[in-house]
Amino acid sequence: MKIRSLLRSGPGKTAVLIFLLVLAAGSMFLSMKLGALKLSFAQIIEILWNRPAGIQYQILSNIRLPRLLCGALVGAGLAVSGAILQGVMRNPLAAPGIIGVSSGGGLAGILVMLALPQYSLLLVPAAFAGALLTALLVYLLAWKQGVNPVRLILAGVAVAAMLGAVSSAILLFNAEKAGGVLDFTIGSLTARSWKHLQLSSWYLLAGLAAAFLFSEKLNVLELGDEVAKGLGLHVERVRFFFIAVAALLAAGAVSIAGLLGFVGLIAPHIVRIVIGSDNRFLLPCSALFGAFLVTACDTVGRLVIEPSELPAGIIMALLGPPFFLWLLRGCRYEA
């Protein structure tokens, strides 16, 4: 208990933030170092600094570097999206994939990839529109003289199941085109390039900035509707704002890595156990831990059956369900 109290103090939270920053940076360096072509840290620094011509520079600059940056942004976006949804719904089991936000963005992404493959620029706006419309649908279904967090998450689970069935049906009836969509439905960073980063980074960075900037309002919202109203907060307006931010982050992540599950559940919950629920620290720490988690899973996936690779979504799927079941078994949740 003394260690937990220390970690939840101001200096302790700052120390955790610095530790997670080092952890995320370390996983990114390992991602650049490991693979079919092994590079030393000295070689990595020399290549990034001097940019010499050759195969090593091409592999590092055009394959590994954009891939790991995509992974870091995806992990940060999903983790912060999950932290926001857990705070808004006051439920540790809330996550973009569980309440349907990722499913809505994924369905829109699948439709664009199958019907308009030549218009790749539409993928992020379509995924955001799908995620936001899904969030609106869940919000309306949960509305009954206001929104109750329990109704919100139950409505989200139902909508997620429905959208998953629709996506599966679309893929079933378009089996001849579905091969290229398989990685998207699993969640993968394979062949991600600077193009993917350019298309989606602004959406993710804007969502992260909005989340960090208004984190204190999320703290007030977590106190409960009556207390928040007493403190002058427009509860429904602020709740919808944060749901929209969570949808934007989930959509940006989906547009890069597809339906990568469990990051939004695992990362913020583990961070919350360590440092508590102060969103001024919880959101940036979750972003760093999410970045570490996705880049680490992607690196493991590249190495485990080398020279082939497993998508990051499969590695996450192996880690996520045991943790999820642990929560369902009644893990004591402390704010």
What is the SS3 assignment for the chain?
Answer: CHHHHHHCCHHHHHHHHHHHHHHHHHHHHHHHHCCCCCCCHHHHHHHHHHCCCCHHHHHHHHHHHHHHHHHHHHHHHHHHHHHHHHHHHCCCCCCCCCCCHHHHHHHHHHHHHHHCCCCHHHHHHHHHHHHHHHHHHHHHHHECCCECHHHHHHHHHHHHHHHHHHHHHHHHHCCCCHHHHHHHHHCCCCCCCHHHHHHHHHHHHHHHHHHHHCHHHHHHHCCCHHHHHHCCCCHHHHHHHHHHHHHHHHHHHHHHHCCCCCHHHHHHHHHHHHHCCCHHHHHHHHHHHHHHHHHHHHHHHHHCCCCCCCCHHHHHHHHHHHHHHHHHCCCCCCC
- Give residue-wise pLDDT tens across range 242-292: 988 998 898 889 888 888 888 998 899 889 888 988 999 999 999 999 999
pTM over cut 0.85: yes
Rounded mean pLDDT of 113-125?
A: 77
* Domain range list for the chain: 2-328
Rounded mean pLDDT of 167-183?
A: 78
> What pLDDT sits at residue 5?
75
**Does 205 score more than 70 pLDDT?**
yes
> What pLDDT sits at residue 333?
47
**Does 30 score more than 70 pLDDT?**
yes
Average pLDDT, the chain: 85
327 band by pLDDT with thresholds 50, 70 and 90: low
Rounded mean pLDDT of 205-222?
A: 93
> What pLDDT sits at residue 151?
80
Highest CATH level, class, for 2-328: mainly alpha
**Does 330 score more than 60 pLDDT?**
no
> What pLDDT sits at residue 150?
75
119 band by pLDDT with thresholds 50, 70 and 90: confident
**Does 334 score more than 60 pLDDT?**
no
